[in-house]
Every structure is written in structure tokens, then in C-alpha cells.
A = this chain, B = another copy of it.
Amino acid sequence: MSPQVSEARPRDREATRERILQAARTLFGEHGYERVTVRMIAASAEANIALVGRYFGSKAGLFAAVLQGEPDLHTLFEGDLESLPRRLAEYTAERMQHPSDSPIVRTLERFASHPEVRDVARERLITAVLSPLEARLTGPDAGARARMATSIFLGVSAMRRRIGPRTPTRADVDRLTAVFEACLADGPQGAVE
């Protein structure tokens, strides 16, 4: 028998850890925390179940590691302020089309009620989305406006996936832009009237 029957993997702690992390990233983003089992992750990573506990302590620890490793959305909030609503709208629309992109956002969208997980996800949401967005805003109530925009930013796509996974049209993006303008405007009542 030739030795490449099963293509034995070299023993590499760091590479295995990374495979598990990547599998968890994908699966958590796809199905959410509670619906993904440690066995699913291990199978997807082609690693032994026990290694998840060994390298990350627990399932919640692995989830935290996933969130830690995800890049921030800073670049989305940078650039000129005037076109920020449209950038948010386009990013939101894109997430509707390619739901497997951006596992962190999908994970945050559906992070559930597991107490252990809720706190770490909440903190991550604040540092990755809410705070950088708020930092860009001027005028009164910047915190409240950023909070509402974040809610729409994440909440819309979480719901949209449920009530009709249509690909957003140009008009949808335009409307979404108007929505973000209305909620980010620094006037006393936003874009109303």
C-alpha cells in the first residue's frame, strides 16, 4: 500500500488550532452559537473533539476566540461622513446577498441567551460597531443615534433573512440609505419633514 492512502496529517498544534478556529468561525456565522455543536466543529475541522476543550477550554471559550480574531469594521466607518449612510446601506444589502460573508456580524446578529456568551458578544458588538460609529458622529445624542443605527444595521438583515431572502434591488439600497440618513442626522428630528 502506498502511504498516501489517507494522507496522514503532520502533527502541528498551531495548524490544528487554526483549523478548529476557522471551522468554528464559519459554522457559528452560519447557524449561530446554540445550533452548532462541538462535534460539528471538530468534524468540520477534521480534528478530535477533545482538542476543542484542550485548545480553547470550552465551547464558550472557542466562541470568544472567534470573536477576538474577527477584524473590526473600522474601515466601514472611516471615510467621509456624508456618504456614511450609503456605505452602511450597501454593506447591509451585501450581507443580505452573501450571508456567509462576515461571520462576526452574523454571529452577533443571532447571539442568543446563553449568559456566558451574551456578555462577550455584547462587548464585542460595542467595540466593533457601536463605539467606532459613535465616534464619527457629531452633535447632540450621538450615542443614541449610533445605538439606533447599530440596531438597524444588524437587526434589519437578521430579520430580512427570515421574511424573504430576496436580493436587494437598487431601490432597496436607496431606501436603506434614506433610513440611515434619517437616524444618523444630527438635527433635532433627523430628516423628518
Contact = CB atoms under 8 A, between A and B. Distances in A.
Interface string A169-193: 1011011111101110100111110
Interface stretch (A15-23, A31-39, A58-66, A71-79): A31-39
Given A35-B112, A155-B156, A144 B163 contact: no
B122 A171 contact: no
A158 interface: yes
A102 B4 CA distance: 61
A175 B183 contact: yes
B158 A174 contact: no
Contact of A178 (B110, B166, B175, B182): B182
Contacts of A111: 162
A150 interface: yes
Nearest to A145: B175
Contacts of A43: none
Interface in A50-64: none
A164 to B, nearest CB: 6
Interface string A72-103: 00000000000000000000000000000000
A100 to B, nearest CB: 15
B151 A159 contact: yes
B155 A152 contact: yes
Interface string A130-174: 100000000001001101101110111111101110100101101
25 contacts: A34-B112, A125-B163, A126-B163, A141-B171, A144-B175, A147-B163, A150-B163, A151-B156, A151-B157, A152-B159, A155-B155, A155-B156, A155-B159, A174-B188, A175-B182, A175-B183, A175-B190, A176-B183, A178-B183, A178-B185, A178-B190, A179-B179, A182-B182, A182-B191, A191-B191
